Amino acid sequence: MRRQTLRKLLLLRRRWLPSIPQSLTVLAFWLLMAETAVPANLLMGLLLAVVMPMIAARLEREFARMARLDVFLMLAGLLLWDLVKANFTVARQVLGPERKLTPHFIWIPLELTNIHGISALAAVITLTPGTVAAALSEDRKHMLVHVLSTDDPEGMIKSIKQRYEVPLRKVFP
């Protein structure tokens, strides 16, 4: 009898809190964004901490598998170097004459199929100053990227694919 009660309680907990770490993370981020722990913010954070993991549990899952740690570490070093260079480039562009800026939206055709690899690519693009991943097509075959300034959109597409997508395809097969 006691074991059945315990099992029912566990199933009830899994139904209402499918992921306690995810719930705690949602609550913590909500409180950090709200900046004050007044009762209304705490109540909203608790509501989100219950509802968001329940919704996420129903989504289609595609688990991450990192195949090549060496390529990932090489990519991390490359990204670090690109971040330093891009900060100087963007600073020069922003402090220079506005007429020299040539912003573009570019569609990048993707060969990545793993959603975690696509997310990593979007993060890398967005982390790099001067570029922002703006959208992903429904079929996950194209990513829309905003570039602060480029005279060669096709060259930018080739650069992003070669520098970031190719290594990420090795990391996330």
Provide the CATH number for the domain around residue 148: 3.30.70
Domain span holding position 22: 2-58
pLDDT tens digits, residue range 87-134?
998 898 888 888 888 889 999 999 998 888 899 899 999 988 889 999
Same structural domain, 54 and 86: no
> Residue 134 falls within a domain, yes or no?
yes
Paired strand residues for 142: 109
Q: HEC string of the chain?
A: CHHHHHHHHHHHHHHHCCCHHHHHHHHHHHHHHHCCCCHHHHHHHHHHHHHHHHHHHHCCCCCCCCCCHHHHHHHHHHHHHHHHHHHHHHHHHHHCCHHHCCCEEEEEECCCCCHHHHHHHHHHHHHCCCEEEEEECCCCCEEEEEECCCCCHHHHHHHHHHHHHHHHHHHCC
Assessment of whether the complete model's pTM goes beyond 0.85 = no
> Residue 64 falls within a domain, yes or no?
no
- What is the structure's pLDDT at 55? 80
Same structural domain, 85 and 160: yes
- What is the structure's pLDDT at 157? 93
In the listed set 10, 26, 58, which residue is the last one of a domain according to the structure? 58
> Residue 133 falls within a domain, yes or no?
yes
- What is the structure's pLDDT at 18? 74
| Banded model confidence at residue 10, pLDDT cuts 50, 70, 90 | low
pLDDT tens digits, residue range 16-71?
777 778 888 888 888 888 888 889 888 998 888 888 887 877 665 666 666 677 88
Same structural domain, 88 and 7: no
Same structural domain, 52 and 78: no
Same structural domain, 92 and 143: yes
Same structural domain, 80 and 31: no
Same structural domain, 146 and 103: yes
User: In total, how many domains does the chain have?
Assistant: 2
